[in-house]
DNA sequence: ATGAAAGCGCTAACAC
DNA sequence: GTGTTAGCGCTTTCAT
């Protein structure tokens, strides 16, 4: 920057202003500076700028995993929303491991993000303490915690499960099952488990048995999980009429496995998923699923962040439920 | 940090050492410092540390998109490899747009990464200039450029296309087509196009027509693309026996579309994809595809980075071809 | 509208 | 093994 200022024949302060707040500089001066910058190929050092201004321009985003289209959509929506404000996303992922989450959070905090976005609302005590002490806006997303740390933009996973159960019940099914991940071990998907609980609760409310609700395999759940889980479930409960999969990926895996086993969907078995993944539209029959607008979730989060970081008196914690909807396709039949 | 040093009764320098190079500090002192840190909930500020030490601990990673399992696998492998060395990945994505790539690169450079990992080797002139001037190790991955900027860890996309063509030809097919993205507009997948070219070249080498090679739709290619493209292709070239899809996602979309149109795979149409995505193992029939170990690519890149950043005399640019292999499953028949 | 001085929170380099 | 001094490249603040 010193080089630029010398070449342009102005002080370094003027260069700084010409870059970050051009309005404050005479057009002629601005021009000279721009030329010098181009000639030298100067790229400002935001590390130094961050230290001085005490604004890093970082937003921390904690995700369970990168390899999930919906979480990627959140990251995507967020990035879009923040791009023009010149914020950078600092992404960390936990692999559904709370010990790892804490480690990652510490690393993130060392970069002094101006806000922290956490996926989910279940944290280790140490992580919660870290978050509380961070003194920056916290947003918990993709969940609807009863005791949130800061702002909330999400949906109720419990309600997802209940909605799935109600839908299947309304179709006249009575022998209803579900497939999801296990709760044992360190690696677990709390939000998926919440969907399973909601499902079981609604089943019980309707006086139906929850015996065919199967927890099997570790997060992240994908096609293989669904294939293996449905095989187990049908062995254990051969008379099952309808199944909820906590993730569309599992649902699709289950569908393919059924195809191989000669179980016709939806004639012999109805299937409903969660997440509205693109693949669900493509398979045959198209998958009935529960949709949450994750892109919107990301964009909303970005807009909230911008508002929060714009005004000084940070508004009191907000709570937004982006809701959910059933996408009726053809994988569920009437009983 | 000042607070920590006072509480521990040592100088700030000792605190710094106790954190970043504990060996240099007496165990007793170390202990005192650790206690003070815990008591105060102190988290070091790496922004300040970076400025002072001139090491940011950032590695820049430029990806076409986040929403692709293989690129996500690269990011994953890289993160794993770098985690223990306390490096952070700074991820940017271009959405297959070279103008955007340049913008993103400038933003990345402002964070002073210690190395830059670029996916692909086709950059705008301005981006190339930026890269050349960056004065940090550059690694181009997932490609095998003839005129690389720095290190290369990748595979030949051209060879992928040739291999696909050869495989189909060896099976006795003569009326062979392909589906990939368009080359028009700003948004394009150069590496996918390279695979298409390799495919065409091999077809011509065998004296076969490349008329049924269809370029349609913009990157990123996914299920919908495959479904739409195969419908168009079969309309245009109804006698087509075998098709290469530049991405497994397109291949799966094509497969589902064929199912809907009553075209039996592989009896009436053979299909080979690229990328070995998980879904390809799950569909029925399982998809024959060309596999590249993207996870290994990420890990290799991480290891190379560590070596590069470890030693002072940075080794001369290396070139690694991770190769490729055909995964024979059941979507290709003999003619 | 521009400039000068001070300092952000750390660590490199050198001293003891 | 620990402390002192100086300074990383910017921006804040205040002056002109």
B328 is near strand C: CB distance < 7 Å: no
What pLDDT is attached to residue B67?
Answer: 86
The yes-or-no verdict on residue B311 having pLDDT over 80 is no
What pLDDT is attached to residue A66?
Answer: 85
User: How confident is the model over B9-25, as pLDDT tens digits?
Assistant: 999 999 999 999 999 99
**Mean pLDDT (whole number) for B311-333:** 88
What pLDDT is attached to residue A186?
Answer: 86
A26 is near strand C: CB distance < 7 Å: yes
Is residue B182 reached through a cis peptide bond, with omega within 30 degrees of 0 on the bond before it? no
Chain B, window 231-290: residues with a beta carbon less than 8 angstroms from a chain A beta carbon = 252-253, 256, 259-260, 278-279, 281-284
User: How confident is the model over A290-322, as pLDDT tens digits?
Assistant: 999 999 999 999 999 999 998 755 667 799 999
User: How confident is the model over A210-256, as pLDDT tens digits?
Assistant: 999 999 999 999 999 999 999 999 999 999 999 999 999 999 999 99
What are the helix (H) ranges across A121-156? 125-133
* Nearest protein residue, CA measured to C1' of D8: B52
What pLDDT is attached to residue B314?
Answer: 60
Is residue A190 reached through a cis peptide bond, with omega within 30 degrees of 0 on the bond before it? no
Kind of pairing between the strands at A242-245 and A270-274: parallel
Q: Which nucleotide is nearest to B51 (CA to C1')?
A: D8
What pLDDT is attached to residue B54?
Answer: 96
CB atoms inside a 10 Å sphere around CB B41: 11
Residues of chain A with pLDDT under 70: 312-315
Chain A residues with CB inside 8 Å of B259's CB? 284
**Mean pLDDT (whole number) for B245-258:** 97
A24 is near strand D: CB distance < 7 Å: no
What pLDDT is attached to residue B312?
Answer: 57
CB contact under 8 A, A283 and B256: yes
Among A282, A285, A294, A295, the residue to mutate for chain B (most B Cβ within 10 A): A282
User: How confident is the model over B58-107, as pLDDT tens digits?
Assistant: 999 999 998 899 998 999 889 989 988 999 999 999 999 999 999 999 99
Q: Which of B249, B248, B241, B296 is nearest to B270 (CA)?
A: B241
What pLDDT is attached to residue A125?
Answer: 94
Query: Could you give the CA distance from residue B115 to residue B93 in angstroms, rounded to a whole number?
Result: 16
Q: What is the DSSP letter of B283?
A: S
Domains of chain A (ranges; CATH) run 2-44 (1.10.260.40), 53-155+293-322 (3.40.50.2300), 157-291 (3.40.50.2300)
If you compute the radius of gyration of chain A from its CA atoms, what whole number of angstroms results? 25
The token pair at A173 is 């099914």
**Mean pLDDT (whole number) for B194-209:** 98
| Chain A nearest CA to B226, separation (Å) | 10
What pLDDT is attached to residue B2?
Answer: 87
What pLDDT is attached to residue B213?
Answer: 98
What pLDDT is attached to residue A308?
Answer: 92
Chain B residues with CB inside 8 Å of A261's CB? none
Q: Which of the four pLDDT bands, split at 50, 70 and 90, describes residue B33? A: very high
**Mean pLDDT (whole number) for B150-168:** 97
The yes-or-no verdict on residue B134 having pLDDT over 80 is yes
Beta strands in B242-323 (DSSP E): 242-245, 270-274, 288-291, 319-321
3-state secondary structure of A139: strand
What pLDDT is attached to residue A312?
Answer: 58
The yes-or-no verdict on residue B267 having pLDDT over 70 is yes
Strand D nucleotides within a 7 Å radius of protein CB atoms: 1-5, 7-13
Q: Which of the four pLDDT bands, split at 50, 70 and 90, describes residue B282? A: confident
**Mean pLDDT (whole number) for B286-292:** 97
């Amino acid at each position: 920057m010193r080089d630029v200022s010398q070449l342009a024949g102005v002080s370094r302060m003027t260069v700084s202003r010409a870059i970050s707040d051009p309005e404050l500089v005479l057009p002629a001066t601005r021009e000279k500076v721009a030329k010098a910058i181009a000639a030298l190929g100067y790229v400002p050092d935001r590390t130094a700028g961050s230290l001085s201004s005490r604004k890093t321009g970082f937003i921390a985003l904690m995700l369970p995993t990168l390899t999930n289209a919906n979480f990627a959509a959140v990251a995507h929506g967020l990035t879009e929303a923040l791009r023009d404000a010149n914020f950078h996303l600092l992404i960390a992922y936990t692999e559904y491991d709370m010990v790892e989450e804490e480690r990652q959070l510490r690393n993130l905090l060392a970069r002094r993000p101006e806000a922290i976005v956490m996926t989910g609302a279940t944290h280790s005590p140490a992580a919660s303490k870290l978050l509380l002490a961070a003194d920056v806006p916290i947003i918990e997303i993709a969940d609807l915690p009863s005791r949130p740390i800061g702002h909330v933009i999400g949906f109720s996973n419990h309600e997802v499960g209940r909605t799935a159960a109600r839908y299947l019940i309304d179709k006249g099914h009575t022998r209803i099952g579900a497939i999801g991940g296990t709760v044992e071990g360190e690696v677990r998907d709390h939000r998926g488990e919440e969907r399973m609980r909601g499902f079981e609760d609604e089943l019980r409310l309707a006086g139906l048995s929850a015996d065919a609700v199967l927890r099997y395999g570790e997060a992240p759940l994908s096609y293989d999980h669904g294939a293996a889980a449905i095989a187990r479930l049908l062995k254990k409960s051969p008379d099952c009429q309808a199944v909820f999969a906590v993730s569309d990926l599992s649902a699709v895996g289950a569908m393919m496995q059924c195809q191989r086993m000669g179980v016709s969907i939806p004639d012999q078995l109805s299937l409903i998923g969660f997440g509205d993944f693109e693949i669900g539209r493509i398979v045959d029959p198209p998958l009935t699923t529960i949709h949450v607008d994750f892109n919107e979730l990301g964009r909303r989060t970005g807009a909230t962040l911008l508002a929060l970081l714009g005004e000084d008196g940070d508004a009191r914690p907000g709570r937004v439920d982006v809701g959910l909807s059933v996408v009726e396709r053809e994988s569920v039949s009437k009983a």
